[in-house]
Chains A and B, each alone.
Chain A
């Protein structure tokens, strides 16, 4: 069964460093998303991406964040200068455009900022 894959599963970084989280969405999906979940809290939307551009973003997704689809398969989230409060689980998801638009999530990347 096709699935969304995310790498790495755990990323440890120093405050102020740049990190790139990687995702390979399901191959025939056209909509891609990033969400985050701070430990013990609910899942929060960051950004959605369609047709090679951002279609929606939340207030959390400030200038420190960027997304890119560098090739035909990968979808990346970059945090330019990490802060302690960026520590969270980051989920990538993808969906087909039409119909129920069920979003399928990857297993997540746990980001720890020290």
Chain B
């Protein structure tokens, strides 16, 4: 079974600072994908970044980067130069190649950017 753990229910960051949102996972699949989504107060789920389990390099998408440590089974999201519009819920998700295409989500982290 797949399991995603996000241990930070809420985080605060000063505008323009960097913040790391933690995500650990557990899976027996040899190959898997890790995803981060942003959910603003309006409710939609916005895809941010993807990391494949066999990718040699950490994924980056603009101000988002993923600190992937396979041995530790962690896939932390780093947001650089935080902006007020980054205030939202952030969900880590995983898909295992042996368990179909369904996503398993963590409980989320609420990020508040302080001006």
Which residues from chain A contact B91 at a C-beta distance below 8 Å? 42-43
Which A85-104 residues have C-beta < 8 A from chain B? 89, 91, 93, 95, 100-104
Give the shortest distance, in Å, between B18 (CB) and chain A (any CB): 25
Given A48-B101, A101-B95, A101-B101, A42 and B108 contact (CB-CB distance below 8 Å): yes
Contact string against B for A residues 2-19, beta-carbon threshold 8 Å, 1 for contact and 0 otherwise: 000000000000000000
Interface size class of B (residues with CB under 8 A): 20 to 34
In the bound assembly, the distance between CA atoms of A4 and B72 in angstroms comes to 35
* Residue contact B107 to A42, C-beta cutoff 8 Å: yes
* Residue contact A108 to B100, C-beta cutoff 8 Å: no
* Residue contact B101 to A42, C-beta cutoff 8 Å: no
* Residue contact A107 to B100, C-beta cutoff 8 Å: no
- Could you say which of A44, A45, A110 has the most chain B C-beta atoms within 10 Å of its C-beta? A45
Q: Which residue of A lies closest to B100 (CB)?
A: A56
Which residues from chain A contact B101 at a C-beta distance below 8 Å? 31, 33, 48, 55-56, 95, 101, 103
The 3 closest A-B pairs by CB, nearest first: A105-B45, A107-B44, A45-B102
Chain A positions within 8 Å of B, measured between CB atoms, are 31, 33, 35, 41-45, 48, 55-56, 58, 89, 91, 93, 95, 100-108, 110
